[in-house]
Structure 1
Amino acid sequence: MSDVPPILLILIALKAGARIMDVYQTDFSVDAKSDASPVTEADGAAEEIILTELAKLSPDIPVVAEEAVSKGDVPETDKVFYLVDPLDGTREFISRNGEFTVNIALIEEGVPVTGVVYAPALGELFWGAKGKGAFRAAVKEGVIGSQEPIRVRSAPSAVTAIGSRSHGSAETEEWLKQYMVNDFVAAGSSLKFCRVAEGSADLYPRHGRTMEWDTAAGDAVLRAAGGLVTTLDGQPLTYGKRDRADATDFANPYFIAYGDQDLVGATVSA
């Protein structure tokens, strides 16, 4: 596995998060990208910081970053590359509910092996690495507090599901009928993966469009915490998907994020 210490990616995420918060505290404007999704000054500014710092840290590892890809700047990718979403949850940023994140992930052989998720407005930081576990810490005024290991929980008989605050779907509601669901929690951005990773939710089903940079960092944290993200047919979600006749490069299929892996393919409904 590539030897990129998570702390170095964390420091980059903190720097990008600080720039995002500078914009967040202003009367920023909102533009639309070619796919009609919203974008702000913070997206581009944060990505510029991340790309600059990753080039210093890992000059030989290509970086696939959301805003660059939207402008047609797509590097060749091989077995190892970074996936970056500088501001995941732009709609949450615009609505000022705080549920937006900086996402940086390292991919090897299609697997997210290291991931950092930072929610600057909430002061929450999550990270994980394959074989090294997953962790969370509070961040106050740019300073990281004590780290705490996190782990998925064993699923109770009635599970807690979590889903998109901005992109819910009837398909998700139908899929969840196979389980006994005690509670459904709405949340924004990649924080949904982190809530499953820390054991405050059990399932995150996503029946809607996502891109690899939306999911990779949170996926890495969840896997490091003992969870798994699969396609609807139970296969692990993979990364670096390109040159497909039926899908855009780096587009994800629908997926399910599981805490307790015993839930994969199981039903716990009465």
Structure 2
Amino acid sequence: MLDKICGLARSAGNTIMKFYNSEKFINISYKSDKTPITNVDHEANSIIKKGLSLITPNIPILSEEELYNFKICQHWNHYWLVDPLDGTKEFLKKNGEFTVNISLIKNGIPVLGVIYAPFFDILYCSLNKHAWKEKKPGYKERIYVSKSKVPLLITSRSHPDKELKDYLRARKNYRIKKMGSSLKFCLIAEGIAHIYPRFGNTHIWDTAAGHSIVVAAGGKVKTWTDENLNYSLSSRRSFVNTGFCASTS
């Protein structure tokens, strides 16, 4: 099934790139939180939903681009979690830092994760305790987190916050890199970056696929109270995450 999901992410990514590389009309609107959404998000979402419905017709799908009755979703123990275009701001800026995110949640845990970066044509995926980087379809290379005496901290390009400034001020020995979308998780999983601290709001579709890949590569994703970031809808009041830190240890 993992290969089918990887293929599905690539298919959605190819559609995204057709808009990115052409003069096709991009219709931009804004959600209640003032984040942008485009017709490209909806096109990618349609491809993924249709594909998942064929692969696993009995597993419900929760996507960023749909509206849901949260009380109904709370009864889902197993579900797909989708962000069809993570990093819409970066897509519109044309800096390439956007991804397609698909993950499978079982009993609050992301057990499968796929992140495809169509601009770079690189895919990251995980299943249980194994994580891979795929530069060509079907050619997977195992990836692992790594440690460093001078860790590379990777932070959001578009979402600065005061807590992050305070966190950095308290640290002494580090390098820093800013990046958009869930690629931040991927750089930790393949051993390039080492810490991704996040204080501002994210949603479960922003983090689940990256969470799965980081943990499968040997890292961890914990809240600031040292608890596992949980995707069990029955124990939540909304789709919003608390702050967290993804790291190599």
The bucket for the TM-score relative to the shorter chain is over 0.9
Distance, in Å, in 2 between the alignment partners of 1:203 and 1:36 is 28
Q: Does 1:186 align with 2:192?
A: no
Find the counterpart in structure 2 of residue 7 from structure 1.
Answer: 3
Distance, in Å, in 2 between the alignment partners of 1:223 and 1:243 is 21
Find the counterpart in structure 1 of residue 145 from structure 2.
Answer: 152
Name the count of aligned residue pairs: 245
Find the counterpart in structure 1 of residue 153 from structure 2.
Answer: 161
Find the counterpart in structure 1 of residue 104 from structure 2.
Answer: 106
Q: Do the aligned partners of 1:158 and 1:180 also contact (CA within 8 Å) in 2?
A: no
Distance, in Å, in 1 between the alignment partners of 2:31 and 2:201 is 16
Find the counterpart in structure 2 of residue 60 from structure 1.
Answer: 58
Distance, in Å, in 2 between the alignment partners of 1:125 and 1:138 is 6
Structure 1 residue ranges, 4+ long, deviating more than 6 angstroms after superposition:
none
Pairing 1:132-147 to 2, within 5 Å after superposition: 133-139=130-136, 144=137, 146-147=139-140
Matched residue of 2:174: which SS?
A: strand
Measured after TM superposition, the shift of residue 147 of structure 1 is 1.8
- Give 5+ residue unaligned stretches, structure 2: none
Distance, in Å, in 1 between the alignment partners of 2:76 and 2:117 is 29
Q: Do the aligned partners of 2:151 and 2:174 also contact (CA within 8 Å) in 1?
A: yes
Matched residue of 1:147: which SS?
A: strand
Q: Does 1:120 align with 2:113?
A: no
Distance, in Å, in 2 between the alignment partners of 1:181 and 1:23 is 41
Q: Does 1:257 align with 2:246?
A: yes
Give TM-score scaled by structure 1 length: 0.86
Matched residue of 1:68: which SS?
A: coil
- Alignment RMSD: 1.7
Give TM-score scaled by structure 2 length: 0.93
Can you list the C-alpha shifts for 1:232-269, whole angstroms capped at 9, x where unaligned? Answer: 0111101034575xx5x11100010011x2xxxxxxxx
Q: Do the aligned partners of 1:84 and 1:104 also contact (CA within 8 Å) in 2?
A: yes
- Judging changes above 3 Å, is the alpha-carbon distance between structure 1 residues 129 and 258 closer, same or farther for their aligned structure 2 residues? same
Letter in 1 for 2:2: P
